[in-house]
């Protein structure tokens, strides 16, 4: 592994995400040798704490993540961690941070490379970015890098996203900004490109002549849990569709990039999103449906969860149909759905091919059932793999056909070696590879699409609750696809 030199500054360094994902991921990179002796971490948040206490919390976070490294390795790693109390809204505090950064840069010979990771409420992103620049925290060494990593959500509509982006752009160039979408760090999402562009068999059929429709499902089993106050202001459309689903869909829909580089891939994703049809009011109302979960047994409905207002109209489920107006996809819809409190926790993509134009097995005397559609399923999680449904002859004396499946599942041992999304994404940031992050044009097209749907929904009072927990959402999600004489491949 190549060792990368950098100083990490984590804003929100005592938060849930930092302890649960970011520090364990850094440790994995350390164990693999991507980080060795030339790195240091400054954790910041408002509370007072000394380095020792912070290091102990970091070590605990590694243990909690299940890493059973020996204690020497863990303590060597945690010795690179430093804590600085810092209120991000107080400009004067940044000079203290600057001194600490310069000291560590010298001590660990970091050559001025800096990664600023904002793991806190987005309302602070603009201020932080501005002060990082105005207070001289960004390295001025011309061979060094300054990179800004930001968590979701990126705005709550196009206007607020644009405002946020304008604020960030005053300090950082687009190539320096890494917008996290952790779905892009998932093994099987990255595999979409390998599957498509590495296989003639797949890519030659990957268009509206052979594909009838594509279905993307991000299903969650749990309800809103502790995130209610955030979630109730967001809802499934903003929380899942605008970012994760749009990213997955653009990888499925894009043209072949000239080369496998971040610039080329982004260019194709942006082109795909530009041809996504932005609905007018009437079409948004027919092509998107929403839901909110009801109660079951002694489990409360969404409106009676802690921190949710009793008249909340926030959707916990959304399903919709996306149409691309381009040569490859015209006439082939993409159906998407996501929600909380559904039957199971999984993410999958089902690519449904057209049936043969002529079914020669359906001659008059034949008892044969009509040929099934070929379906290519990409299992993203919890199990990673592919499945291809084909028609084959039944193994008997007569002649009838039946659907069979070619399955490839990544085995459990191998899955354990798969890097966590955050590990992969942090490694990408260290390398300066923006492939698996959302660029501003992608984010802005996604918001413009989503805003139209929100606009329509905000005009109508929904009939909530409208779906039973542990189902696959409201009846409207079934009607949405049945209206087109199709059905969801994954069904109960």
**Residue with smaller CB distance to ligand NAD, 122 or 432:** 122
**Residue with smaller CB distance to ligand NAD, 45 or 287:** 45
Q: Are 408 and 387 in contact (CB under 8 A)?
A: yes
Distance in angstroms (rounded) separating the CA atoms of residues 249 and 251: 5
Q: Are 491 and 337 in contact (CB under 8 A)?
A: no
What is the nearest approach in angstroms of ligand NAD to the Cβ of residue 284?
A: 26
DSSP sequence for 432-444: T--TTS--HHHHH
**Residue with smaller CB distance to ligand NAD, 184 or 351:** 184
Q: Which residues pair with 214 in a beta bridge?
A: 334, 351
Reduced to 3 states (helix: H, G, I; strand: E, B; else coil), residue 416 is helix
Helix then strand then coil, in percent of the chain rounded to 5, is 40, 20, 40
Which of 7, 17, 101, 195 touches ligand NAD by CB under 6 A? Answer: 17
Distance in angstroms (rounded) separating the CA atoms of residues 21 and 28: 11
What is the nearest approach in angstroms of ligand NAD to the Cβ of residue 383?
A: 22
Handedness of CA 280, 281, 283, 288 (dihedral sign): positive
What is the nearest approach in angstroms of ligand NAD to the Cβ of residue 85?
A: 8
Distance in angstroms (rounded) separating the CA atoms of residues 4 and 71: 23
Which of 104, 120, 272, 430 touches ligand NAD by CB under 6 A? Answer: 120
Tokens of 63: 């243990």
89 binds ligand NAD (CB under 6 A): yes
Distance in angstroms (rounded) separating the CA atoms of residues 26 and 71: 16
What is the nearest approach in angstroms of ligand NAD to the Cβ of residue 128?
A: 9
**Residue with smaller CB distance to ligand NAD, 230 or 399:** 230
Q: Which residues pair with 126 in a beta bridge?
A: none
What is the nearest approach in angstroms of ligand NAD to the Cβ of residue 87?
A: 4
Nearest to 230 by CA among 151, 162, 346: 151
434 binds ligand NAD (CB under 6 A): no
- Beta strands 81-85 and 177-179 are unpaired
Which of 25, 28, 34, 45 touches ligand NAD by CB under 6 A? Answer: 45
Tokens of 492: 């109960």
Q: Which residues pair with 115 in a beta bridge?
A: 8, 147
Reduced to 3 states (helix: H, G, I; strand: E, B; else coil), residue 444 is helix
46 binds ligand NAD (CB under 6 A): yes
87 binds ligand NAD (CB under 6 A): yes
432 binds ligand NAD (CB under 6 A): no
- Greatest alpha-carbon pair distance for the chain in Å reads 86
Judged by CB under 6 A, which stretch of 120-128, 353-361, 394-402, 460-468 contacts ligand NAD?
120-128
CA–CA distances in Å: residue 143 to residues 5, 6, 153, 429, 439: 12, 13, 31, 16, 24
**Active-site position among 244, 304, 427, 485:** 244
423 binds ligand NAD (CB under 6 A): no
What is the nearest approach in angstroms of ligand NAD to the Cβ of residue 438?
A: 13
- Beta strands 6-11 and 114-118 are parallel
What is the nearest approach in angstroms of ligand NAD to the Cβ of residue 33?
A: 27
Query: Is-catalytic flag, 383?
Result: no
64 binds ligand NAD (CB under 6 A): no
Site string for ligand NAD, 169-198 (x = CB under 6 A): ------------------------------
15 binds ligand NAD (CB under 6 A): yes
* Residues of span 140-159 touching ligand NAD by CB under 6 A: 151-152
Which of 14, 215, 374, 452 touches ligand NAD by CB under 6 A? Answer: 14
Judged by CB under 6 A, which stretch of 80-88, 232-240, 340-348, 473-481 contacts ligand NAD?
80-88
Judged by CB under 6 A, which stretch of 114-122, 192-200, 354-362, 437-445 contacts ligand NAD?
114-122
Which of 122, 403, 432, 441 touches ligand NAD by CB under 6 A? Answer: 122
Q: Which residues pair with 215 in a beta bridge?
A: 335, 350
Place of tokens 């039957």: 343
Q: Which residues are catalytic?
A: 244
Binding region for ligand NAD (CB under 6 A): 12-18, 45-46, 86-89, 119-122, 151-152
């Amino acid at each position: 592994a190549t060792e990368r030199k950098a100083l990490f500054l984590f804003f929100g360094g005592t938060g849930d995400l930092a302890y649960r994902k970011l520090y364990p991921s850094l440790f994995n990179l350390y164990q693999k040798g991507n980080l060795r002796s030339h790195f240091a971490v400054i954790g910041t948040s408002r509370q007072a704490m000394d380095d020792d206490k912070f290091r102990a919390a970091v070590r605990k976070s590694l243990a909690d993540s299940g890493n059973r490294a020996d204690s020497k390795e863990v303590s060597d790693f945690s010795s690179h961690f430093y804590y600085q109390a810092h209120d991000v809204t107080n400009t004067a505090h940044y000079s203290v941070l600057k001194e600490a950064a310069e000291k560590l840069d010298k001590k660990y010979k970091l050559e001025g490379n800096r990664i600023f990771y904002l793991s806190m409420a987005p309302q602070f992103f603009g201020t932080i970015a501005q002060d990082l620049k105005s207070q001289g925290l960004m390295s001025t060494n011309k061979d060094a890098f300054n990179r800004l990593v930001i968590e979701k959500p990126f705005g709550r509509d196009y206007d607020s996203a644009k405002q946020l982006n304008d604020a960030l752009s005053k300090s950082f160039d687009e190539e320096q900004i890494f917008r996290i979408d952790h779905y892009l760090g998932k093994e099987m999402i990255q595999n979409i490109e390998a599957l498509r562009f590495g296989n003639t068999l797949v890519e030659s059929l990957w268009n509206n002549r052979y594909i009838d429709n594509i279905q993307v499902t991000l299903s969650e089993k749990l309800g809103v849990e502790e995130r209610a106050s955030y979630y109730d202001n967001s809802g499934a459309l903003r929380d899942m569709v605008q970012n994760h689903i749009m990213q997955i869909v653009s990888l499925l829909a894009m043209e072949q990039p000239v080369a496998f580089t971040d610039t080329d891939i982004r260019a194709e994703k942006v082109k795909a999103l530009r041809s996504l049809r932005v609905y007018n009011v009437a079409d948004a109302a027919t092509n998107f449906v929403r839901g909110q979960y009801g109660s079951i047994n002694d489990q409360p409905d969404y409106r009676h969860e802690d921190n949710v207002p009793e008249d909340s109209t926030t959707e916990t489920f959304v399903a919709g149909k996306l149409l691309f107006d381009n040569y490859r996809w015209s006439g082939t819809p993409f159906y998407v759905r996501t929600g909380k409190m559904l039957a199971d926790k999984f993410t999958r993509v089902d690519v449904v091919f057209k049936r043969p134009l002529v079914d020669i097995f359906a001659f008059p005397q034949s008892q044969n059932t009509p040929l099934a559609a070929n379906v290519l399923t990409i299992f993203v999680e919890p199990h990673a793999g592919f499945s291809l449904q084909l028609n084959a002859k039944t193994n008997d004396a007569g002649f009838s056909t039946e659907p069979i499946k070619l399955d490839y599942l990544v085995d459990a041992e191998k899955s354990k070696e798969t890097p966590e999304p955050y590990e992969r994404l942090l490694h990408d940031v260290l390398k300066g590879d923006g492939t698996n992050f959302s660029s501003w044009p992608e984010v802005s097209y996604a918001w413009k699409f989503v805003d139209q749907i929100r606009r329509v929904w905000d005009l109508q009072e929904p009939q909530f609750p409208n779906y039973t927990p542990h189902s696959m959402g409201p009846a409207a999600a079934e009607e949405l696809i049945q209206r087109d004489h199709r059905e969801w491949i994954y069904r109960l």
